[in-house]
Structure 1
Amino acid sequence: MNWRDYQARQRVVELGQRFIGYVDEGRGEPLVLLHGIPTWGFLWSGLLPALSLTHRVLIPDLLGYGYSDRREGFDRSIARQAEALDAWMDRLGVRDAAVVGHDIGGGIAQHLAIRFPRRVSRLCLMNSVCFDAWPLELMVQLGHPGVVRRFSSRALQRLLKLALKGKGFAMAPPDGVVDGLLAPYATEVGKTSLVRDAVSLNTNQTQELVPRLPHMAVPTRVIWGADDTILPVKWGERLAWEIPGARLVRVEHARHFLMWDQPHAVMTALYEFLGVEERPQLEGRELQGSSS
């Protein structure tokens, strides 16, 4: 599906003075998928049809991202995002869920599992921020407030597309994927919100979790694109070492956006971790990505 089709599936829930846009499809055990920066829920659109055959799939846009609330005046850090997601799950009546986090979404998932352990039945971290390893240098540079004035939304789109295509994928992504991942940030409002998102990037918020990782009790799987140059696989190895019982699955021939580079391998690893015994036959209409 293209990004407009995906956006049309989104619902909205209010959380106090803020709101979250999200997709809610399928039936079964709840499965929450968290995106990173500079993406949004569309990141998971290629896997959504297959995952919704076995699970109730919930994909929020983080506050300040995608088509969730992008107004000024609130904390967008991963610690605050975890608190917002706790409230969002409560609002939807979801007691707990398997949680999969990619990039900064993985940092948020770590906060959920450690600070709100009742919410997380299983934890999967994909090419996740952790320790003092965080995303592209461009994201850090983007966090300078002056960027809002120096770059038009069009100029910023060009820079982001070059960065994502150059470092994010092991092979050419499917047509429209990069444009779709960046679509919410193509306007001046979106550009400004993304800059505010980048300002909130803070390694202290993963470093503070490090002493608590060895005490995590939730079943954990670490799935990593083996060729990622943004967050190299050594960080996945360290996560799997620090978290009790965690196991690392390396996805070969995949970079940062492993769910697009190798969707079948990622789905196989997810199904195994989620305990799906009767796995649907994954055909082109059910699984989208550059290797399908």
Structure 2
Amino acid sequence: MNWREYQARQRVVELGHRFISYVDEGQGAPVVLLHGIPTWGFLWSGLLPALSLTHRVLVPDLLGYGYSDRREGFDRSIARQAEALDAWMDRLGIGDAAVVGHDIGGGIAQHLAVRFPRRVSRLCLMNSICFDSWPIELMVQLGHPGVVRRLSAQAVQRMLRVALKRMGFATAPPDGLVDGLLAPYATEVGKTSLVRDAAALDTNQTQELVPRLPHVAVPTRVVWGVEDTFQPVKWGERLAWEIPGARLVRVERARHFLMWDQPHAVMTALYEFLGVEERPRLEGRETRDAEVPSVQGRLI
């Protein structure tokens, strides 16, 4: 599906003066998929059809991202995002869910697991921010206030498109994917919101979780594209060590956007993690890594 078809599936829920756009498909135990920066819920569109055959899949756009509220005057930090998602789950009547987070979505998932443990039945972190691994230089530059004045939306799009294509994928992304991932930010309103999102990135908000990660008590999987240059695999190794019982799944020939580089390997890891025995076939791109991903970590 292209990004317009995906957006047409989105619903909206109001949270006080703000609103969150989200996709809600399938039946069964709930799974919440959290995207990172500079993407939105469309990041998960390749896995949504297969995963929604076995689970209720909920994919929110974070506040300030995608087609959720992008107005001025609110905190966009990962700590505030976790609070907003707690309220969003409450509005939808979801007690707890398996939470899967990529990039800053992984940082938000860590906040949920530590600060709102009742919300998280299982935790999966994919090429996630953690400790002081972030923000990367590209996001530091994007978050400079002068970007709003100096660069047009088209210029920001060109910069991000080049960076994602060059460094985000180990295999050539499908036609239109990168443009779709950046589509909400193609306007001046979208660009300004994305700059504010980048300005809100604060490594202190993962560092403050470090003493509490050893107290995470839910089944945890760390799934990592091992060729990632944005979040190198050493950070996944450390996460798998710090969280009791966590296991690291290394996905070969995959970079930051591992769910597009190696969708079959990622779905294999997710199905195994979620306990799916009868696994639907994943349609779309064939994986270049036919082997089952390697699993490492400590078991406590």
TM-score bracket, shorter-length normalisation: over 0.9
- Name whichever of 130-139 and 23-32 sits farther off: 130-139
Specify the SS of the correspondent of 1:64. coil
CA distance in 2 between partners of 1:136 and 1:49 (Å)? 31
Is the counterpart of residue 253 in structure 1 residue 253 in structure 2? Answer: yes
Structure 1 segments unaligned to the other structure (5+ residues) = none
Query: Using a 3 Å threshold, how does the CA distance of structure 1 residues 290 and 169 change in structure 2: closer, same or farther?
Result: farther
Cα deviation digits, residues 212-257 of structure 1 (max 9, x gap): 0111101100000010011000000000000000000000000000
> After the TM superposition, which residues 228-247 of structure 1 pair with which residues of structure 2 at under 5 Å, given as runs?
228-247=228-247
Is the counterpart of residue 130 in structure 1 residue 137 in structure 2? Answer: no
Query: Using a 3 Å threshold, how does the CA distance of structure 1 residues 164 and 109 change in structure 2: closer, same or farther?
Result: same
Specify the SS of the correspondent of 1:59. strand
CA distance in 1 between partners of 2:283 and 2:196 (Å)? 40
What code does the residue aligned with 2:149 have? R
The answer to whether the 8 Å contact 1:135/1:230 transfers is: no
> What TM-score comes out, normalization by structure 1 length?
0.97
Is the counterpart of residue 164 in structure 1 residue 164 in structure 2? Answer: yes
CA distance in 1 between partners of 2:53 and 2:115 (Å)? 30
Total equivalences in the alignment: 289
CA distance in 2 between partners of 1:242 and 1:232 (Å)? 17
Specify the SS of the correspondent of 2:39. coil
The answer to whether the 8 Å contact 2:102/2:128 transfers is: yes
The answer to whether the 8 Å contact 2:135/2:203 transfers is: no
CA distance in 2 between partners of 1:108 and 1:175 (Å)? 30
What is the deviation of 1:135? 4.3
What code does the residue aligned with 2:140 have? V
Aligned to 1:197: 197
Specify the SS of the correspondent of 2:102. strand
What code does the residue aligned with 1:112 have? L
User: What is the root-mean-square deviation of aligned Cα atoms in Å?
Assistant: 1.1
Aligned to 2:32: 32
Specify the SS of the correspondent of 1:244. coil
CA distance in 2 between partners of 1:210 and 1:289 (Å)? 38
The answer to whether the 8 Å contact 1:264/1:291 transfers is: no
CA distance in 2 between partners of 1:236 and 1:290 (Å)? 22
Is the counterpart of residue 263 in structure 1 residue 263 in structure 2? Answer: yes
Aligned to 1:20: 20
Identity percentage over the alignment?
Answer: 86
The answer to whether the 8 Å contact 1:260/1:289 transfers is: no
What is the deviation of 1:29? 0.3
Query: Using a 3 Å threshold, how does the CA distance of structure 1 residues 289 and 58 change in structure 2: closer, same or farther?
Result: farther
The answer to whether the 8 Å contact 1:173/1:260 transfers is: yes
Aligned to 2:292: none
Specify the SS of the correspondent of 1:94. coil
Aligned to 1:102: 102
The answer to whether the 8 Å contact 1:260/1:290 transfers is: no
Aligned to 2:114: 114
Structure 2 segments unaligned to the other structure (5+ residues) = 290-300
CA distance in 2 between partners of 1:290 and 1:137 (Å)? 30
> After the TM superposition, which residues 39-58 of structure 1 pair with which residues of structure 2 at under 5 Å, given as runs?
39-58=39-58
Aligned to 2:93: 93
CA distance in 1 between partners of 2:108 and 2:203 (Å)? 12
Cα deviation digits, residues 2-30 of structure 1 (max 9, x gap): 00000000000000000000000000000
The answer to whether the 8 Å contact 2:135/2:201 transfers is: no
